[in-house]
């Protein structure tokens, strides 16, 4: 069975894809959220050369180079394209910019029904073609070494940024919309859902082997609002995505930060894997979802400030929490912090590969 999938994927290292599909692996695969970026000195050099974050990710050649940088340092089991979750709202005409020390900012945030009516649904090749070209360029450069991951923000998360206009701690504008003009919000979420389906399918056609939908702000919703304003649209995206191309499956991962309350509901979308943040115990999550999906996560990024021994101990704890067998992709429970020492990332990756061997003792695969 595993040989058939190896031939299908035509990659030298298929651990990540095998684990997503709960197939046997020799060791637990590992990659890191935001592995392409801000903690690496080589990234800082190329960002300075590009003239800023947006200039960097909108230059396909430079963005591809950044995507590849961590794989030159570490034996990671997957690459992820270097981009941003706000590419779709930017292409919709909201005027995205990044301000020093304050994050993203929209010049034309959504304030009323007319603003929503005026939103265009971007053509991925025409309006966000720099990302699609980054996929193509990175895929060629990888030459089948490891899988390439594509991604998008979720409709709810994108809508929150579009309405708030920038990062927020209280989210009063988007929550006011929920309770005063929900029909306007639903129209925006519907447009975003259509845009995300087109965008992710374009990434798949361009060469990504798996995709992740980051519902980064899903956890700010209440138990009653999450199914209505986030999960409903995630279901629609899963129904609209290509799940197989050129004979191989495209695994889909959902990551709702703060979503540990809703794991069973997320499983029902038909996704292949769930991303977990570090507030959810991995072993308890596995008991709840059984063998229905794989699990990605979920070390607290702050552990990487610790000593090598502390990092190794935490790797052991998380592997032990998950237990025997495949279906676990080791990752952080959030994006890596920019002041983490690159050497500590190397300790993490080596520890995952070495310590996880015993959890896959019956598997004779080697990548």
Q: pLDDT class for 365, splitting at 50, 70, 90? A: low
Q: Does residue 346 have a known ligand-binding role?
A: no
Residue 219: band (very low, low, confident or very high) from pLDDT cuts 50, 70, 90: very high
Q: How far apart are CA 257 and CA 313, in angstroms?
A: 24
The answer as to whether 329 is a domain residue is: yes
Instruction: Give me the mean pLDDT over the 234-246 stretch.
Output: 96
Does residue 144 lie in a domain region?
A: yes
Ranges of beta strands (E only) in the chain are 79-80, 96-99, 103-106, 148-153, 210-215, 244-245, 248-249, 252-256, 273-275, 294-299, 328-332
Q: Reply yes or no on whether the pLDDT at 261 is more than 70.
A: yes
Q: Is residue 367 part of a domain?
A: no
- Could you tell me the CATH number of the domain that includes residue 296? 3.20.20.210
Number of domains in the chain: 1
In this model, does residue 364 exceed pLDDT 70?
A: no
For residue 104, is it within any domain? yes
pLDDT for 1 equals 33
**Mean pLDDT of the chain, nearest integer:** 94
Is 26 inside any structural domain?
yes
At 214 the three-state DSSP class reads strand
Contact 32, 332 (CB under 8 A): yes
Give the chain's radius of gyration (CA, Å).
20
pLDDT at 166: 82
**366, part of any domain:** no
The answer to whether 261 is a known ligand-binding residue is no
Mean pLDDT along residues 240-248: 93
Q: Is the pTM for the entire model greater than 0.85? A: yes
Give residue 246's pLDDT. 86
31 domain residue, yes or no: yes
pLDDT in tens, 291-313: 999 999 999 999 999 999 999 99
pLDDT tens digits for range 179-205: 999 999 999 999 999 999 999 999 999
Confidence (pLDDT) at 225? 98
248 is in an annotated binding site: no
Which of 214, 198, 201 is CA-nearest to residue 334?
Answer: 214
Tell whether 365 is covered by a domain: no
Q: Could you identify the residue written with the tokens 């304003």?
A: 229
Domain holding 316, by residue range, is: 2-360
pLDDT tens figures, 156-175: 999 999 999 988 888 999 99
Answer yes or no: is 43 a known binding residue: no
pLDDT of amino acid 4: 42
Q: Which range (80-94, 137-151, 222-236, 349-363) has the least confidence?
A: 349-363
Any known ligand binding at 161?
Answer: yes
pLDDT of residue 216: 95
Q: Report the catalytic residues.
A: 34, 38, 47, 84, 161
Is 216 known to sit in a ligand binding site? yes
């Amino acid at each position: 069975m595993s040989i058939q999938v190896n031939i299908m994927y035509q990659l030298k290292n298929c651990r990540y894809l095998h684990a997503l599909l709960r197939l046997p692996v020799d060791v637990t695969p590992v990659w890191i959220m935001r592995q392409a970026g801000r903690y690496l000195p080589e990234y800082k050099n190329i960002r300075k050369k590009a003239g800023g974050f947006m200039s960097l990710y909108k230059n396909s050649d430079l963005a591809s180079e950044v995507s590849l940088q961590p794989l030159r340092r570490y034996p990671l089991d997957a690459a992820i394209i270097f981009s941003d979750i706000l590419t779709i709202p930017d292409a919709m005409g909201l005027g995205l910019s990044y301000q020093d020390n304050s994050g993203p900012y929209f010049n034309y945030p959504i304030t009323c029904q007319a603003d929503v009516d005026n939103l265009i649904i971007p053509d991925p090749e025409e309006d966000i073609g720099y990302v699609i070209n980054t996929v193509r360029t990175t895929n060629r450069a990888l030459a089948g070494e490891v899988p390439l991951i594509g991604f998008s923000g979720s409709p709810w998360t994108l809508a929150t940024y579009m309405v708030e206009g920038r990062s927020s701690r209280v989210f009063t504008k988007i929550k006011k919309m929920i309770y005063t003009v929900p029909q306007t919000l639903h129209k925006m979420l519907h447009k975003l859902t259509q845009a995300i389906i087109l965008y992710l399918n374009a990434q798949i056609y361009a060469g990504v082997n798996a995709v992740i939908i980051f519902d980064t702000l899903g956890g700010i919703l209440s138990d009653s609002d999450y199914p209505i304003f986030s999960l409903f649209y995630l279901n629609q995206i899963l129904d609209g995505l290509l799940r197989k191309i050129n004979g191989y499956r495209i695994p889909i991962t959902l990551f709702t930060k703060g979503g540990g309350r809703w794991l069973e509901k997320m499983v029902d979308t038909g996704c292949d894997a769930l991303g977990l943040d570090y507030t959810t115990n991995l072993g308890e999550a596995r008991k709840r979802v059984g063998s229905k999906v794989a699990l990605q996560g979920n070390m607290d990024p702050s552990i990487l400030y610790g000593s090598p021994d502390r990092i190794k101990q935490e790797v052991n704890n998380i592997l032990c929490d998950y237990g025997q067998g495949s279906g676990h992709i080791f990752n952080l429970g959030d994006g890596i912090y920019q002041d983490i020492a690159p050497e500590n990332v190397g300790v993490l990756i080596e520890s995952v590969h070495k310590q996880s061997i015993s959890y896959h003792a019956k598997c004779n695969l080697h990548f």
